[in-house]
Amino acid sequence: MKRFMVFIFLAWGFFSCDNRQTENTVSAENEHIKPGHQHDHNHANREMNSRPFESLVANFESAERDEWQQPDKVMAYLGDLQGKRVMDIGSGSGYFSFRMHQAGAKVICADVDQRFLDYIAQKRDSLGVPEADIETRKIPYDSSTLGEGEVDMVIIVDTYHHIENRIAYFEEVRKGIKSGGNLVVIDFFKRELPVGPSVDHKISKEEVMEELQQAGYTSLALDTTLLPYQFLIRAGF
């Protein structure tokens, strides 16, 4: 697989266009990514690093984001997480990671940016949460690093559209999910919105579903009404 994005992954970069907010951002100047296309990681990282880290965290954790991200609805959508192991790809500041832990999950916070992992670790330790319950894992650009059947669920929020070679990448992710588990993709509708990247950086829900099918997911459930600016896809196999 070629090197890609930014998960939080959130870091490859992080787009914050005109103060648009999202968990995992990448520069809005980056070209729209399609399978097999090369991504300008250095440019994305320069754009992200041009903003104070504290500003990125403040955007990710803001009350304004809560209004459109509607985390309580997302958590209800995820279902019963008690005793499950979940990887949060592009975890960023841990916006959903800590919520999933509170719901009873053991969470792997996966990101390419060590600063966010350090932030999560410090917050985890300050809350007295065991390291085994919220693990931080720095991942490379081309792999989730999941072992076979390592987790019950993988969630990726506002990051899918930053990944290159997505079919191969999410095939690897699928192998890391236990039988009966699933992948949850949450990303922006491909239209003009007050938050998120520009339209030409987005991927349509139809394209996401087609790529996941090619990656070996055989059960796809699409929700376009739960959130105002994002679709949700639950993919099983």
What is the pTM for the complete model shown?
0.81
pLDDT of the residue at 118: 98
Domain boundaries, the chain: 17-236
Please give the angle made by the CA atoms of 204, 177 and 158, to the nearest 5 degrees.
Answer: 30
Q: Given strand 177-188, what is the order of strands in its sheet?
A: 134-138, 106-111, 85-89, 151-157, 177-188, 230-236, 219-223
Neighbours of 64 (CB within 10 A): 11
pLDDT of the residue at 49: 56
pLDDT of the residue at 10: 40
pLDDT (tens place) for every residue of the chain, 237 residues total: 444 343 333 433 333 343 344 334 332 223 333 333 344 443 444 445 567 899 999 999 999 999 999 999 999 999 999 999 999 999 999 999 999 999 999 999 999 899 999 999 999 999 999 999 999 999 988 899 999 999 999 999 999 988 889 999 999 999 999 999 999 999 999 999 999 999 999 999 999 999 999 999 999 999 999 999 999 999 999
pLDDT of the residue at 112: 87
pLDDT of the residue at 8: 38
- Regarding the domain delimited by 17-236, which CATH topology (the fold level of the hierarchy) does it fall under? Rossmann fold (3.40.50)
Nearest one of 179, 175, 201 to 188, comparing CA atoms: 201
pLDDT of the residue at 220: 98
Segment (H or E) for 178: strand 177-188
